[in-house]
Structure 1
Amino acid sequence: MAFEGEYAMLIGGERVRGGATLDVVNPATEQVIAQVPDCTREELDRAVAAARDAFPAWSAMPIEERRRLLNALGDAVLAHVDPLKRLLTSEQGKPHAEAEGEVIGAGYWLKGAASLDLPVVVNEDSAERYSETRRVPLGVVGAIAPWNFPLVLAMFKVGPALLAGNTMVLKPSPFTPLSTLRFAELADGILPPGVLNVVTGGDALGPWMTSHPGFAKISFTGSTATGRRVMESAAPTLKRVTLELGGNDAAIVMPDVDVTAVAEQLFWAAFRNNGQICIATKRMYVHRDVYEPLKQALVAYAKTVKVGDGSEQGTQIGPIQNKPQYDRVLELIQDARDKGYTFLVGGERADVPGYFVPVTIIDNPPEDSRIVQEEQFGPVLPLIAFDDFDDVVARANATDYGLGGSVWGEDEDAAFALAQRIASGTVWVNETQHLSPVAAFGGMKQSGVGVEGGVDGLLEYTAAQTIVRRRKAAA
């Protein structure tokens, strides 16, 4: 299919353009590239009502048929990789190669989620009674997706929620709504009306959703600060919540590591998607035995990386996605300058249009510095030397976050043993950021509530229902 020129919301199978609009800005040029509807309260009510009306038939549909439709939706995404990737680059800023990877990932995530099954547990099967616990859908789910991976992180929610039999109202970030609205056009040709509704809007729309009595659940991906407000807003109606929030992921590099082999991997663990990944390496603890050679290797590689407009050939890192985040990253860099920390590379402000920040690596800042303690969500990495494993584990865990982490070393068993001491929802050994639709992903501490992915993530969109049948013979 060919995408339509105008952007419209999808409500009950109808394309709704509404009245007021929001500008969408290309972060590489700071130019407005499109306008999207600014959803009103009344339009949100219509979307919730459409999802509620669609719920009985969708939840009663055999799971095999829901699975078939989700696979078809995944195939439709994979059939539109090129236009979606170009659109994604224009609104998000990431290079075409990374945008293509995200679009492909979105298609495969839908198909991967569709492969899951809802378990039925037989509790008792005796002469007296039969008892089983099955999983039933919750109803209408409100899904709020972020701007760093707008398409694939939306699919983290769409796939399992719909497979479980729920219907949905999905809201993309106002910074990156375009690819999601095009995805809605694909869904409109595959899913029954009202099963998936997509609305766009500004800062008011999220709170309207989280407090709306028509939602049985809110699934949110974003910052920890906003996650707290989501939970607070959902509390009066006791909505269920899944919150995938921020992280301050530590990488621990052991003394036996092959510096030449891992330097490039470690660089991209921190700087992929311009550091705008909740599970990016935000702090890198390097054993003193290899600190100097690894430092030199990272700096040398950083100087070869091209930062620029994601639509240009050869660009490897694009701009920060939006002005507020750009200003926050610059503030953290300025704080490091004011404190007199040593910059190994970067640290200067790019004097060009667009929200560009050069790759920045800071040499051994103190543990209590802002750049170590806070989540930068940008292309700034503190390198920190350590000598003692017990000490580095304590430092890695001394944070309110607990989303991800990684351990790097030649001795895989030793690295694996160290990884088990990291208080994070996911810890990788000799790789990072590998996620799967069939594996659980979630945070500890203030990095989130609940999980996404795998059977555990599927169950987040269900309630347990136990059915007990008294047998006639027992009477």
Structure 2
Amino acid sequence: MSLVTFDTFANVVDGKLVSTTSTRHGINPATLEPLPPVPVSTREAVHDAVAAARRAAPAWADTPLNDRQQTVVRFADALASHAAEFAKMLTLEQGKPLPDARVEVAQGVRMLKGMANFPFPEQVIEDTERRRVVTRYLPVAALKLGPAVVAGNPIIIKPSPFTPYSGLKLVELAQHFFPPGVVQGLSGDDSLGPWLTADPGVDKVSFTGSTATGIKVMQSCAQTLKRVTLELLVPVGCRLATRKTDELGAETIRQLFAPMWISQRLRPRCVLVVRAMNACPLTLPKVAHLALYNSGQVCVAIRRLYVHSSIYKDFVAAVVQHVKTLVVGDGMDAASLLGPVQNAMQYQKLKNMVAKIKSDDLTVSAGDLERAFPERKGYFMNPVVVNNPPDDSEIVTEEPFGPVFPVMKWDTEEEVIRRANNSSVGLGASVWSNDADQASRMAKRLQAGNVWINCHLELHPNATFGGHKQSGIGSELGLDGLKAYCNVQTVYHDKGGSSRL
């Protein structure tokens, strides 16, 4: 039996589906057809949701940890049972191919269950005959689902105005498992985010988006000293290959569990370094896929690919051959391997970037700049690979957030590390090499919060996910991510103190 249907969409406040006087609608980026109407929340709706969350907070915090964890597991099981519907909605609103959407729903289920089964921290500092000192972690009202509710917090979810549908249905599904007020959802326009961050009844905000918007979020939260977690995805990342192997401006509170689920509104950078000629045939499909996954609209997608000069020519030739096999089309079409860009704003940015590549007279290894944007309905872009552009060119220094990336040569380890780290941000990087010692040495020197060796974009619910430099403040997932939704309390118990009173 289906617990939710995907024909109508509403806010969820205090356990109830709530409509609004004003509505808006998203666009299917593959067809440009309007999707169903969604609510445009008012400031009053924000006050009602915050009040409901604060009423629900004491009882949910007092609910035994095991009960909270099992509730999250049951919720995750329900999400898994509705995987087909959620995957279809993700494809309709975001554009990604349906198989990729299915993988991301499954990843969301895995992340939920992983956080639910993570042991809640309590640190015994001292335990002697005389004294016991324990540091423990208490709930703080938050805006982030998985770890927030496990930690005992209520949560208000604000999905992106570009892609609100799956987020709203996720919250609606949650009503079958959580008490009223514990999990709520509000949809709206550009006013909604600032209202939430400014509301004195909100104790913590978790935001995923651009650095520019993250700064505004932090400024707003500072007025009431809110706790803040920022996952900021401006130009960062690149890929390094060694001789041996290889905001959108919207105020968006991150609402889903797998980072890829919100990929349509992230602006990150990832680095790849490749070495080793004999690894190219195995490495190449992975590299091209990771650079173009979701048409490049992923926070930790490969954005700069550095390949050692000794294998550069053959590596690029293999990349070109692989890119030629990729079919761009509607995500609902089984033949499509790459879907559209998510919205008109980003589509225009990519057109401007391609125009800049042309005006700078850069060499293109794969794709055709004149035919990069097909004359068809939808925000489609054919993939483009730029051959060894200068380090100061826009395609290297700016975040495309689309199916276009540069491949560049390198000769010495010192040189490529310096170039890879020459960024104000640092979310992810990967090193591909048959030389394990070299790969490990290089990985340690990369200034990024997540570094992979001979793989990329692999996540674990119990491993911390965060960025360096301007890629954010705080972290998600793992013990650090769980602690981010807690207040720290240290209890000092003098065991003999009562006899001296």
- Tell me which interval the TM-score lies in, with the shorter structure as reference length: over 0.9
Q: CA deviation at 1:412?
A: 2.1
- Which one of the candidate residues 426, 431, 445 is aligned to 1:407? 431
Aligned residue in 1 for 2:336: 315
Structure 2 CA distance for aligned equivalents of residues 320 and 189 of structure 1: 34
- Structure 1 SS opposite 2:426: coil
Aligned residue in 2 for 1:78: 80
Would you say 1:425 and 2:413 are equivalent positions?
no
Identity of aligned residues (%): 41
- Scaled by the length of structure 1, what TM-score is found? 0.95
Aligned residue in 2 for 1:151: none
Q: Unpaired runs of 5+ in structure 1?
A: 143-156
- Structure 2 SS opposite 1:281: coil
Aligned residue in 2 for 1:154: none
Where do residues 2-151 of structure 1 align in structure 2 (5 Å cutoff)? 2=2, 3-4=4-5, 5-139=7-141, 141-142=142-143
- Scaled by the length of structure 2, what TM-score is found? 0.90
Would you say 1:452 and 2:476 are equivalent positions?
yes
- Structure 2 SS opposite 1:420: helix
Task: Note the alpha carbon deviations across 1:413-465, whole angstroms, 9 max, x for none.
Answer: 21121111101001101110001111000000000111101111100101110
Aligned residue in 2 for 1:334: 355
- Structure 2 SS opposite 1:44: helix
Structure 1 CA distance for aligned equivalents of residues 127 and 461 of structure 2: 33
Residue type matched to 1:36 in 2?
V
Structure 2 CA distance for aligned equivalents of residues 176 and 312 of structure 1: 20
Task: Note the alpha carbon deviations across 1:148-205, whole angstroms, 9 max, x for none.
Answer: xxxxxxxxx3110100011100001011111122212211111111000011011111
Q: CA deviation at 1:132?
A: 1.0
- Which one of the candidate residues 418, 423, 429 is aligned to 1:394? 418
Would you say 1:294 and 2:315 are equivalent positions?
yes
Residue type matched to 2:435 in 1?
D
Q: CA deviation at 1:129?
A: 2.5
Task: Note the alpha carbon deviations across 1:282-336, whole angstroms, 9 max, x for none.
Answer: 1001110011001000011001000100001111110001111111111111111
- Structure 2 SS opposite 1:254: strand
Residue type matched to 2:364 in 1?
F
Is the 8 Å Cα contact of residues 361 and 382 (structure 1) preserved in structure 2?
A: yes
Is the 8 Å Cα contact of residues 361 and 383 (structure 1) preserved in structure 2?
A: yes
Structure 2 CA distance for aligned equivalents of residues 57 and 181 of structure 1: 24
Where do residues 460-475 of structure 1 align in structure 2 (5 Å cutoff)? 460-472=484-496, 475=500
- Structure 2 SS opposite 1:289: coil
Task: Note the alpha carbon deviations across 1:111-130, whole angstroms, 9 max, x for none.
Answer: 11101122111222234332
Task: Note the alpha carbon deviations across 1:24-68, whole angstroms, 9 max, x for none.
Answer: 100001110211000110011111111111000000000000001
Is the 8 Å Cα contact of residues 26 and 91 (structure 1) preserved in structure 2?
A: yes
Where do residues 236-251 of structure 1 align in structure 2 (5 Å cutoff)? 236-246=223-233, 247-251=235-239
Structure 1 CA distance for aligned equivalents of residues 490 and 334 of structure 2: 57
- Which one of the candidate residues 206, 221, 235 is aligned to 1:219? 206
Structure 1 CA distance for aligned equivalents of residues 436 and 79 of structure 2: 38
Structure 1 CA distance for aligned equivalents of residues 356 and 199 of structure 2: 40
Q: CA deviation at 1:472?
A: 2.9
Q: CA deviation at 1:226?
A: 1.1
Where do residues 171-320 of structure 1 align in structure 2 (5 Å cutoff)? 171-246=158-233, 247-257=235-245, 258-320=279-341
Is the 8 Å Cα contact of residues 245 and 278 (structure 1) preserved in structure 2?
A: no
Q: CA deviation at 1:345?
A: 2.0
Structure 2 CA distance for aligned equivalents of residues 70 and 46 of structure 1: 24
Q: Unpaired runs of 5+ in structure 2?
A: 246-278
Structure 1 CA distance for aligned equivalents of residues 138 and 290 of structure 2: 38
- Structure 2 SS opposite 1:132: strand
Structure 1 CA distance for aligned equivalents of residues 347 and 430 of structure 2: 26
Q: CA deviation at 1:470?
A: 2.2
Structure 2 CA distance for aligned equivalents of residues 410 and 127 of structure 1: 55
Structure 1 CA distance for aligned equivalents of residues 35 and 488 of structure 2: 46
- Structure 1 SS opposite 2:156: strand
Would you say 1:370 and 2:394 are equivalent positions?
yes
RMSD: 1.1
Residue type matched to 1:292 in 2?
K
Residue type matched to 1:403 in 2?
L
Structure 1 CA distance for aligned equivalents of residues 74 and 334 of structure 2: 32
- Structure 1 SS opposite 2:147: helix
Is the 8 Å Cα contact of residues 286 and 386 (structure 1) preserved in structure 2?
A: yes
Is the 8 Å Cα contact of residues 93 and 319 (structure 1) preserved in structure 2?
A: yes
Residue type matched to 2:90 in 1?
L
Structure 1 CA distance for aligned equivalents of residues 123 and 177 of structure 2: 32
Q: CA deviation at 1:231?
A: 0.8
Aligned residue in 1 for 2:254: none
Structure 2 CA distance for aligned equivalents of residues 427 and 125 of structure 1: 38
Is the 8 Å Cα contact of residues 248 and 281 (structure 1) preserved in structure 2?
A: no
Would you say 1:437 and 2:439 are equivalent positions?
no
Structure 2 CA distance for aligned equivalents of residues 401 and 376 of structure 1: 15
Q: In the comparison of the two structures, how many residue pairs are matched?
A: 460
